[in-house]
Structure 1
């Protein structure tokens, strides 16, 4: 039985992974308290954050007496305990939804993580520009995702006409694509789905612009 105790989300306002969890909590109507972890100041590797998230990352979600990390695991926990419908009931549908979600969360985002991009810039002694790195890998990933969405199972959203895992992953990725100057016009299916998602109130209130860097 899910607990009604205070839900706490340790996040950073621009983190894609934390952004996903905010969207999911909002879609479920679950009130929560945000506690900021300032990534530019290195708070993620401080003892307080490492005690709850040994990887030195965000987000960490405190819910039902648990401390959960890794955004996709959190989303699946919410799906299983709150009957969210983030995964289809059929096995082929679940496989497709997980594939689309991982195309973003395991292929695009990790290589565009700031610590990866910063390392590339430093290791190349500036020969690689951060902006060029981001645009290259985001565009490469979106190109593949756009082709995957040509499947007939795509509807108003990534899988049919209800929000599932890849939609929750796609919203933050679109935010970062626009932030780094990737032209979404090159990916009409992604752009159309993103436009529909952007109109939904639970998605709107999770946007980084609605957050504050210190809260």
Structure 2
């Protein structure tokens, strides 16, 4: 498999985590978002949206991080990213969609660049925008999390694949997640797991380019 992504992309980070938790080997193909490589003709042959990540498996090209993670769970079912019980599966999906669908999309690079180019927001206003929406999402999550090691029980899964990249973004923009004890507890637990350590942005080859 080949994973085309960017080291600091939350969506790419999610998929790295899923692949690592499954113990799957892959070749990493950097796509530099700051240089606009995602908009190049070669990359758009893989993903016409011009977004990362794209996962290539043989003749198949998979896009959209959540779709990729669910595909991984179907094709490589152990260890599972989602619980077996349908109600629990829906609960975990709902938790995962908070950072992946509600928080991150409105603070990604193309949205922030649009706000700056079209509305002239300053770097400080950009930071405030990001922090506001993370606080909104994390506040809701904090009320929904049980006092378990992870959202689904004893092992990390889909939710943690989506939460940890959002925590990285929050800390990058000056937020202290310790004010969210349940989220902070999960973050600390994940930090002890090799699959999460190896997926961190600074561990990726393009982090130094």
User: Which TM-score tier does this pair reach, normalised by the shorter chain?
Assistant: over 0.9
- Indicate the larger mover: 27-36 or 119-128: 119-128
- Indicate the larger mover: 172-181 or 21-30: 21-30
3-state secondary structure, aligned to 1:205 = helix
TM-score, with normalisation over the residues of structure 2? 0.94
Q: Which ranges in structure 1 are unaligned for 5 or more consecutive residues? A: 1-6
Partner deviation per Cα, 1:146-202 (whole Å, 9 max, x = no partner): 1121xx4x5210121121211111111111110001120211100000100111001
Partner deviation per Cα, 1:68-111 (whole Å, 9 max, x = no partner): 00001100001011113111111100100100010110001101
- Indicate the larger mover: 203-212 or 120-129: 120-129
Contact kept in structure 2, 1:14 and 1:208, CA below 8 Å: yes
Quick one: which of 150, 153, 160 aligns to 1:160? 153
- Indicate the larger mover: 7-16 or 159-168: 159-168
TM-score, with normalisation over the residues of structure 1? 0.91
Quick one: which of 44, 66, 70 aligns to 2:38? 44
> Corresponding residue for 1:208?
201
**Structure number with higher helix proportion:** 2
Task: List structure 1 runs of 4+ shifted beyond 4 angstroms.
Answer: none
Partner deviation per Cα, 1:7-36 (whole Å, 9 max, x = no partner): 100000100111111111111111110011
Deviation at 1:114, TM superposition (A): 1.4
Quick one: which of 180, 186, 189 aligns to 1:187? 180
The reply to whether residue 28 of structure 1 matches residue 22 of structure 2 is yes
The aligned runs of 1:64-79 (5 Å cut-off) are 64-79=58-73
Contact kept in structure 2, 1:86 and 1:165, CA below 8 Å: yes
Contact kept in structure 2, 1:138 and 1:182, CA below 8 Å: no
Q: Which ranges in structure 2 are unaligned for 5 or more consecutive residues? A: none
> Corresponding residue for 1:117?
112
RMSD: 1.5
